[in-house]
Amino acid sequence: MQTISVPLQNRSYPIWIEKGLLIKLPELLKPMNQGQKWVIFSQNEIISLYGNSLYKGLKSTGFQVELVVFPDGEKAKSLNELEGIFSQLIGMGCDRSSTFLALGGGVVGDATGFIAASFMRGVDYIQIPTTLLAMVDSSIGGKTGVNLLDGKNLVGAIWQPKAVVIDIELLKSLQEREIISAMGEVLKYGAILDRNLFEVVAENLNDILNLSKPELLTEVIGRCAKLKADVVVEDEREGGKRRILNFGHTIGHALETHFGFETLRHGEAVAYGMLAAGKLSNEDGRLEIEDFELLQTTIKKLPLPKLPEFDAENILKIIQRDKKVKDRKINFVLLEAIGKTVIVDSIEKESIIKAMESL
C-alpha cells in the first residue's frame, strides 16, 4: 500500500492508495473503532455499487454503522438539504465521538466534510473518493463547502479528514465523461507544479483516459496527491501558495455556474478556464508561445463538450462575485512556464472578456 503523509501537526493524516483497498477498509479502520457511531454518507448509485458491501463489512467487524443518502448531483450541497440531515444524525444518536465516512465524488466529499465540520462543532471524518477527480483533488486538503444560488462553495470550512482512502478499482464503474473531466485537474497539477508530470500525462493521455495502464494511473494519482499534500502543508488556510491550485478555476467556476453541471462538469470547466488563463499568461508577456501551445494542444486533445454560446459580460459578473475576488480585484493564477505560476490582480477586464471569447 502506498502511503502519502499530510503532516499538519495534530491534524496530520495519511493518504492510502492501493487497488482493492475498499474491501480491506473495515480491518484498516479497526484501530479507530472505539464503539462510536460510524455514518456512511453517499448517493444511491454509489451505495448500490460499493456502499452496501462497505456497510456489511463494517457491521460484521463490530462497527455501529448507519447510512445517510444524499440526493443526486449538486442538490446534495444545498443548505436546505443539510438541515434535514443534521436532524437525521441526532435521531441516529450521533454525538461528538461519531466518525463520518464520505463515500463518493467531490459533491459527497464536500457536503460530508461540511457536515463533519459543523455537527456538534466538529467530528472526525474520512474521505473515500470514488471518482478520479476526487482522488486527485477534492478529497485532499480539508476544503469543504456548500452552494448558494449566487455560486459554488460560498459557504464552507477547512476541516481536515482523518484519512483519505484511494482505491483505483472504483474507477472501473465511472463513465468516460467523468474520467475526461478529471483530466482537467490532473493536467492542472502538471501545469502549475510539475512539468514532467504534465509531459507524462500529455504523452499517455489515451491510456489514462481508457484506464488501460493501472500502474501508470496509480503513479499519476499518487503524484497529484503528493503535490496537493505538499501545497496544503505549506499553506493550509489558502493565504499564500495554496491559491495556485485555483489555476483555471476563476473562469472555470463561472462557466460551471452559468451553464450548470449537466452542460459542463467541474473538470471540463477547469480545462476551459486553463485555456483562457494560458492565453492571458501569454498575452501578459509571461508565458512563452511554445509553452502556451503545449498547454493548448494538450488540453484540446481532451474530448470536451462544445461550449454553448454565451455572453462574456455575464460570465464576468459571476467572476466578480467569486470568493477569490479581494478588494474588488480579480485574482488570477497565471503561468510563467509549464510548472511555474504567478498570482496577479492587475488583469484588465477587457483582456478577461477577450480570453473568454476565444474559447
Give catalytic residue positions. Answer: 121, 143, 185, 228, 238, 242, 246, 249, 253, 266
DSSP codes joined into one string, 160-221: --SEEEE-GGGGGGS-HHHHHHHHHHHHHHHHHH-HHHHHHHHHTHHHHHTT--HHHHHHHH
CB crowding 184-216: b at 16 or more within 10 Å, else e: bbbbbbbbbbbbebbebbbeebeebbebeeeee
Calculate the alpha carbon distances from 207 to 67, 196, 268, 303 in Å. 36, 17, 19, 14
The candidate with the shortest Cα–Cα distance to 358, out of 246, 301, 303, 283, is: 283
Which residues are CB-contacts of 343 (< 8 A; sequence separation ≥ 6)? Answer: 243, 244, 331, 332, 333, 334
Indicate the SS3 state at residue 343: strand
Question: Quick one: cell of 37?
Answer: 457511531
